[in-house]
Structure 1
């Protein structure tokens, strides 16, 4: 279900570029080499899917709850699978509680609460990284603000102190300089979202569906004008009125028990006084009085048509019925709209439908991206007919069951994680905050398991027969952008940079960090199937799920220079019909089982991955086997997918990040290198690929002699291996020769920088992407380079992010990343910046990089923080089976031992600041960057011309 934690996005024509980490070359132990002989192969077993009611009963989060005298509600859940604790604090305040003229204030305040408190000055990320926290962040929605981190158990005292200090001791640390900086950061976050194709649509949806005085009338991010108007006085008032402990829920989930937790929480939070009670704004569902319509224009490849209805929200009895109805109509891969508009009638390249549920209200939407050459009016007419037909007849029992199994399966997978964006802590906090009942998640899931087609039909009939807002988004020029005062008029100078939002309270002593446990990475067993295919297995028992990856030594590098996109076309066609089943039937079968089967690729590997409910593993494996071994490559489906791919490429050519992804690799590697990939593929090549070419690629590359299998499961190997053996153990390679990749040396790294400017008119933000090919060896001390890059560009506290985001406020976030692949290690910087600071940002980046590499290497404080973070974060990084699976595949790709992760702590501790300096200085050349800038050339080129760096202007390719 799309709860309010998941940001509403309008689906446009665009390719979702799949990326998967994949591998080759493993070490096989003598003890496990012949294990296959001891495990008797078993024939595939026909197994009916486990009933959804049974699956739903598996979703339990036992917990204890208590309330402090000051009103803070505390929930504790024990999960000792890893020595970490998920800490989640939810404040019962969101953007729906903002008065007129203060839109965006709740979200701005979320940012301010990361910039230090009275007893922990400076950036909160500094303290989180010192203890090796993982999955840490904060978010704001219409209905709540939350902060979360997963910390090693020995650092729980420190984490509780941090959260209590910003709850009760914040205002004395917020000054005018902090407010001004974070205002700029938030405005760049807004530009970043608005700059995307279709980025202005949701503003229009909210303004149309909800009256001007309605709490959901405005976006959480707010308006530029209201953000400009925020003052220290309003900051202080907002904190006092909204952030008291009696308006908060604290959840601790993980390696902790209630008896231990209670005195700790009392110690750190008990002295914080109650605040005013925030009664969240009431917001009635007000149907539109009459149908509304609008046409918007933006940098999109093709027209999309949408319908929106205001409907009940999270607390309504019809929540589940509306959500299931949305899944059946347009949310599932097998949905009614997909089957009719995309697969059968081929009027649209993509469709969607679903419920976006907020605390008080919801939005139900259906949409379709019009196939190029088709009249949008025809698609709109058919869309309305299909919705009307669905309302009239309702879903079938099978459709409802497939939707509910998919929902329950997703919940089971999500509960492996204790913290993060969607783990156990979030589930409990959301239930308590919005409903007052921490067990609401279980009641909600039981409703899914028992929902009937009649209930779905009744809910859809009640709400989707009311007037709708109809929106067309067409290719064209968008309206002038609402800019911030700082850009339009350079803003007013603050009269007192030393002013504070409040007076500091009593000094508190920061607690020490206790003993932190080392990583216990699961043992990996390597064995072989009867046909010689290597199988790597690890056990994780936290959830009843099996994750499996089929990794083929192919990847994007297997494409010929004149055939970019063939590999990805083949991978995308695998599940478009296989084993005698159509794409529709395959999707239905996958949904009945609650399995997720996906195809994807990295530069070096092509992969088919599956996350299966272990109770349904045998039939899920059979389905996966058909997809991999027996794809149909039906010519009719091929033409449909071809059209989708070509439309997706056109959309990438409109999206600033997509443009940069398509331009940079060729500039770095030269046009003929295997790594000179073209995101989405080459439109000319995709337009001419034949079925025979797809079959030929599959036979040459997706075959058992290029395959390794990786599994992480709650079930033992003795149970898993016979099932995999039965499905893949007799698979024989075809007679045709296996494919061969042709790697030559990449071009020499430039000795002086250059800029390639891609013109994208009317962009309020420029996307800067700089890269170079480094001499680093991915198999030789790459860890030192990556650790050193934590200081330069690898995390939030890096030099370039702290400069452009936290010091200057020109960007929402800047990163520099070391990107090891099998045959090369590029270094790539990504910096989306406000358009009027594009030239200044490149100057700043060059200065930061040059000073770090030539003058100011890793400081003592940076070194201590980096090594502590790298070592202490290891248990949290490998908490989930998905993380373990990815690590196993990465270890294989780079020829590492299976216990590589357990060796990392000692390796990190062996470094010095000098050895990190030496590693990165031998890797990154400050003069070796090719800078790609995607922005409005009329605004940007005059800035770039002043830099003394050659500038070439091109159009999107």
Structure 2
């Protein structure tokens, strides 16, 4: 603080702060609601300043700030004697004598400090009625390729001066070597830890200087590297994205730091019941010979074993233009974008990946798996089986069916376990879709003493979904829930880019989203029941209970769910 008062900020620090603040304000305006959204900002301006029309002036305040004005503020408002230091000391708490609560003074409801800001009026008695639903028009991106094979999906978003880009590669944990779980995820994490021309700190500083976000990570099917910035800074943000994707140098010191970070993260995962259940689910459903049999984060053994050579080899084998798509959404013209893409990615050399060999999943015969957490006050319960690949032609009717089964608060499973029986705060079900089949699962955290009854009720609801048709009201609610939430997938540029990335990842047509509402609304009651009968088999489920084994085992055995296994926190069978 003394140095800041004496010297003030540098011009570079001021530019960085200005870009970060302006980017944050403008990015918030992509959403109508939420903190920083249009409604929130208009209300804040109106409430505190008496005018909702203050955005331009607000941005102008940051634009007009100088290093001298900031230094003067610090010297005047943050001098050395304007602070309080609070110490926490051991011992008996003494808060002093109790202070009486002052009596509230009566408020005048006709004034702003009263309970009512607006006076009563006849027209306020009835809420306004909803108008007709607007026609839903979802965007269709343009597609083209660079000469080196890089697929580009582009969607212009006029209005706010923002651009988002997402480089997606078919290099998720599904292409890990079976003996190196976590390699794809660790490779993606290392991209921002140094390039041939920048250190990790320089990469972070450059992103902050531009007011840009920069993220990299890997999931089951893909690795993604993304950025978002103001339109004026997008050329530089795209250069930074290209640098970390195409020129990482995997410095050994950073590898060791990330390795330590990852090992700590795995310990934390095992301490969180649902994350632990997911880890065990993968091991039980796919086994140790399938790449899906491990969490994306890897295992303690594999993270310790991953070498710099492993990281470099994975990057060389999987990061090439024919294995990737760059999705760009935002306020930028295609004629401006294309030269930027050629400059940053035109020299990216083509390559060829080795055929993926994920392995064969293990048998999914019905069984009961227990993971012991002595003293746990509740049980994390997951009932699961092999599900579907994203390419299934049944995707839409399956989603409509499952939304009623366990996809909403008002779903059958939640209304049973939470509302009818009071076993849990929440319960549900879902299909996880990958390029290869992912799991179907029903889940809940329930009180320890009701673990077995809750399991029975989950199985009852799965059987009821097969045996009884959805009502017309249930069908309409499920379809509306999915279809009317689709615009939210395109509210932000980053969300639109992520949605378009799925077109590339799962080989979907460009007009997929624009046609999706009609496909959803076409699902019938009969189709939904057929999906339940085709894909939900309660008698073949694996039931996983993560909880206090001593308190739940005997009652769970009485349900006759199949052979009983006890597994450790890595999903390995121990009994």
TM-score by length of 2: 0.84
Does structure 1 conserve the Cα–Cα contact (< 8 Å) formed by 2:181 and 2:291? no
Alignment CA distance shift 1:509-1:429 (3 Å): closer
Q: Tell me the distance in 2 between the aligned counterparts of 1:521 and 1:678.
A: 34
Does structure 2 conserve the Cα–Cα contact (< 8 Å) formed by 1:763 and 1:935? yes
Alignment CA distance shift 1:791-1:730 (3 Å): same
2:497 match: 885
1:894 match: 506
Partner SS for 1:538: strand
> How large is the Cα RMSD of the aligned pairs?
3.0
Does structure 2 conserve the Cα–Cα contact (< 8 Å) formed by 1:396 and 1:453? no
Q: Tell me the distance in 2 between the aligned counterparts of 1:764 and 1:462.
A: 49
Among 696, 708, 728, the alignment partner of 2:325 is 708
Q: Tell me the distance in 2 between the aligned counterparts of 1:872 and 1:401.
A: 41
| 1:738 maps onto 2:350 in alignment | no
Partner SS for 2:433: coil
Q: Tell me the distance in 1 between the aligned counterparts of 2:161 and 2:440.
A: 39
Q: Tell me the distance in 1 between the aligned counterparts of 2:478 and 2:499.
A: 21
Deviation at 1:891, TM superposition (A): 2.0
2:176 match: 559
Does structure 2 conserve the Cα–Cα contact (< 8 Å) formed by 1:662 and 1:679? no
1:419 match: 33
Q: Tell me the distance in 2 between the aligned counterparts of 1:676 and 1:815.
A: 23
Does structure 2 conserve the Cα–Cα contact (< 8 Å) formed by 1:793 and 1:801? yes
Q: Tell me the distance in 2 between the aligned counterparts of 1:523 and 1:755.
A: 46
Alignment CA distance shift 1:796-1:876 (3 Å): same
Q: Tell me the distance in 1 between the aligned counterparts of 2:44 and 2:463.
A: 46
Alignment CA distance shift 1:460-1:812 (3 Å): farther
| 1:789 maps onto 2:406 in alignment | no
Q: Tell me the distance in 1 between the aligned counterparts of 2:54 and 2:87.
A: 31
Query: 1:305-349 deviations in whole A, cap 9, x for unaligned?
Result: xxxxxxxxxxxxxxxxxxxx9xxxxxxxxxxxxxxxxxxxxxxxx
| 1:593 maps onto 2:210 in alignment | yes
2:140 match: 523
Partner SS for 1:561: coil
Alignment of 1:172-321 (within 5 A): none
| 1:666 maps onto 2:283 in alignment | yes
Q: Which structure 1 segments of 5+ residues have no match?
A: 1-324, 326-387, 472-507
2:272 match: 655
Q: Tell me the distance in 1 between the aligned counterparts of 2:293 and 2:177.
A: 10
Does structure 2 conserve the Cα–Cα contact (< 8 Å) formed by 1:860 and 1:913? yes
Does structure 1 conserve the Cα–Cα contact (< 8 Å) formed by 2:289 and 2:360? no
Query: 1:566-611 deviations in whole A, cap 9, x for unaligned?
Result: 1111111101011321101110000000111111122111111111
| 1:538 maps onto 2:538 in alignment | no
Deviation at 1:564, TM superposition (A): 0.3
Partner SS for 1:927: helix
Deviation at 1:791, TM superposition (A): 0.6
Deviation at 1:400, TM superposition (A): 5.3
Q: How many residues align?
A: 530
| 1:870 maps onto 2:482 in alignment | yes
2:468 match: 856
Q: Which structure 2 segments of 5+ residues have no match?
A: 91-124, 571-575
TM-score by length of 1: 0.52
Does structure 2 conserve the Cα–Cα contact (< 8 Å) formed by 1:519 and 1:874? no
Does structure 1 conserve the Cα–Cα contact (< 8 Å) formed by 2:468 and 2:529? no
| 1:467 maps onto 2:105 in alignment | no
Q: Tell me the distance in 2 between the aligned counterparts of 1:729 and 1:890.
A: 23
Alignment CA distance shift 1:775-1:726 (3 Å): closer
Alignment CA distance shift 1:462-1:745 (3 Å): farther
Alignment CA distance shift 1:454-1:628 (3 Å): farther
Does structure 1 conserve the Cα–Cα contact (< 8 Å) formed by 2:228 and 2:494? no
Which structure has the highest helix share of the two?
2
1:500 match: none
1:452 match: 70
Query: 1:275-331 deviations in whole A, cap 9, x for unaligned?
Result: xxxxxxxxxxxxxxxxxxxxxxxxxxxxxxxxxxxxxxxxxxxxxxxxxx9xxxxxx
Among 599, 614, 625, the alignment partner of 2:242 is 625
Deviation at 1:809, TM superposition (A): 3.3
Partner SS for 1:653: helix
Q: Tell me the distance in 1 between the aligned counterparts of 2:397 and 2:188.
A: 35
| 1:402 maps onto 2:16 in alignment | yes
Does structure 1 conserve the Cα–Cα contact (< 8 Å) formed by 2:165 and 2:238? no
Alignment of 1:335-484 (within 5 A): 398-399=12-13, 401-420=15-34, 422-430=36-44, 438=52, 450=65, 452=70, 455=73, 459=78, 466-469=85-88
Partner SS for 2:292: coil
Partner SS for 2:442: strand
1:836 match: 449
Does structure 1 conserve the Cα–Cα contact (< 8 Å) formed by 2:173 and 2:296? no
Of stretches 894-903 and 925-934 in structure 1, the one that deviates more from structure 2 is 925-934
Deviation at 1:452, TM superposition (A): 2.3
Among 353, 362, 385, the alignment partner of 1:747 is 362
Partner SS for 2:347: coil
Q: Tell me the distance in 2 between the aligned counterparts of 1:543 and 1:834.
A: 48
Alignment CA distance shift 1:396-1:813 (3 Å): farther
Alignment CA distance shift 1:747-1:438 (3 Å): same
Alignment CA distance shift 1:448-1:702 (3 Å): same
Among 517, 535, 541, the alignment partner of 1:905 is 517
Does structure 2 conserve the Cα–Cα contact (< 8 Å) formed by 1:577 and 1:632? yes
Does structure 1 conserve the Cα–Cα contact (< 8 Å) formed by 2:175 and 2:358? no
Query: 1:501-552 deviations in whole A, cap 9, x for unaligned?
Result: xxxxxxx999875432232222321111132211111111232111111111
Partner SS for 1:675: helix
Does structure 1 conserve the Cα–Cα contact (< 8 Å) formed by 2:400 and 2:475? no
Q: Tell me the distance in 2 between the aligned counterparts of 1:942 and 1:446.
A: 69
1:646 match: 263
Partner SS for 2:520: helix
